[in-house]
Amino acid sequence: MDKTQWKLLKEIADLEKTPQGAYNFRVDGQLDDRRTTEHIDIVSKTDKPGIDILVKPGTKNESVHIPVVLSQTGLHDVVYNDFYIGEGAEVDIVAGCGIHNSGCETSQHDGIHVFHIGKGAKVRYVERHYGEGPGTGENVLNPRTEVYLEEGASITMEMTQIRGVDSTVRDTVCVVGPGGECVINEKLLTDGAQRAESNMEIVLDGAEATGRVVSRSVAKGESVQLFRPCMTGKAKSFGHVQCDSIIMDRAKIKSVPAIDAQDLDAQLIHEAAIGRIAGDQILKLLTLGLTEEEAEEKILEGFLR
């Protein structure tokens, strides 16, 4: 990988060198580098682009990094990654995509991730999306993430898109089995003429299943955001959806949270709020000696932390 590609890697996965544990680097639509471990295997698919990540039952304290980097303008990269997490395993998965577009053509990455998480397994999934480059071509990222949690399995997903992505449509589906837990923390910032759409469908499909979605976003410039999180309770379960957005400039935000109870004992809550930065927050930081611009920056930084 060249300097630009390493810089992208630093942005999306905080990597300055190859990480510990298993990893698979995909650069401009091709495998760049890979390492497997005794407990984690990574196998290229033969029928379509992508990989299978196989984590053995009982694997503890291991991580897998599978970042994707695009620096070739005009490339439309589609990749299918399937994760098979064995019973009782505890693993961190760091994904994400960084695009550097120096041309006038659209660069696009569509990552389709499917997780099969075995009984009692715990996964922490971190996905960062980032775009940059002097070109006029758009940076487009359309991820689709499907998660199937078996009994007592859990996943915490931290999905962040902070800068430089012109257009994104994010589809997330999670089916939670008995006693399972799905936690999604989504953070999104758009500016200029960027567009972002996030659709989520969490199905609580077993007794004592839990789902929590916290979505925070900031829309600046003339950007447009659309959120459609839906939590369905099909059993005695608990679900909470919270969408908070800060709107600035001439941006537009639409938030359509939905809760769908299909069982008497499904307890579902949704909250959604859109508003500008509260005046009392700015005033407080001014009294601490910050300028208005610094105050705004700190408030947004904290909000999207």
Instruction: Name the residue nearer to other proteins (CB basis): 15 or 183.
Output: 183
**Beta carbons of 207 and 177 less than 8 angstroms apart:** no
Does 303 contact other proteins by CB under 8 A?
Answer: yes
Q: Which is nearer to other proteins, 17 or 305 (CB)?
A: 305
Q: Build a one-symbol-per-residue string for 183-222: x at contacts with other proteins by CB under 8 A, - elsewhere.
A: ---------------------------------x------
Site for other proteins (CB under 8 A): which residue of 252, 269, 286, 297?
Answer: 286
Build a one-symbol-per-residue string for 100-139: x at contacts with other proteins by CB under 8 A, - elsewhere: ----------------------------------------
Which tokens in the block code for residue 75?
Answer: 């490339």
| Residues 12, 6: Cα–Cα separation, whole Å | 10
Distance between CA 212 and CA 258 in Å, rounded?
Answer: 13
Q: Does position 269 bind other proteins by CB under 8 A?
A: no
Q: What is the dihedral of CA 82, 79, 100, 185, to 10 degrees?
A: -40
**246-279 per-residue burial string, b: 16 or more CB within 10 A, e: under 16:** bbbeebebebebebebeeeebebebebebeebee
Region binding other proteins by CB under 8 A among candidate stretches 119-127, 149-157, 197-205, 295-303: 295-303
Select the residue interacting with other proteins from 44, 60, 291, 297 (CB under 8 A): 291
Residue (47 or 293) nearer to other proteins, CB: 293
Q: Does 244 bind other proteins (CB under 8 A)?
A: yes
Phi, psi of 302 (to 5 degrees): -65, -45
How far apart are the C-alpha atoms of 230 and 200, rounded to whole Å? 6
Question: Applying CB under 8 A, which part among 35-43, 65-73, 204-212, 283-291 lies near other proteins?
Answer: 283-291
To other proteins, the closest distance from the beta carbon of 287 in angstroms equals 5
Q: Rounded CA gap, 240 and 242, in Å?
A: 7
* 3-state SS assignment for residue 221: coil
Q: Pick the stretch among 22-30, 130-138, 158-166, 280-288 that binds other proteins (CB under 8 A).
A: 280-288
Residue 10 is a binding residue for other proteins (CB under 8 A): no
Q: Which stretch binds other proteins (CB under 8 A): 19-27, 34-42, 59-67, 276-284?
A: 276-284
Contact 175, 151 (CB under 8 A): no
Collect all residues with Cβ–Cβ distance below 8 Å to 94 and sequence separation of at least 6.
13, 19, 63, 64, 65, 66, 67, 126, 127
Tell me the CB-side half-sphere exposure of residue 145, using CA atoms within 13 A.
25
Residues that bind other proteins (rule: CB under 8 A) add up to a total of 22
DSSP-assigned beta bridge partners for residue 33: 25
CB of 303 to other proteins, least distance (A): 4
Nearer to other proteins, 102 or 156 (CB): 156
Site string (23-62) toward other proteins, x via CB under 8 A: ----------------------------------------
| Lookup: tokens for 182 | 């799905």
**Piece of 46-54, 97-105, 189-197, 287-295 that binds other proteins (CB under 8 A):** 287-295
Contact residues for other proteins, defined by CB under 8 A:
216, 244, 278, 280-281, 283-292, 298-299, 301-305
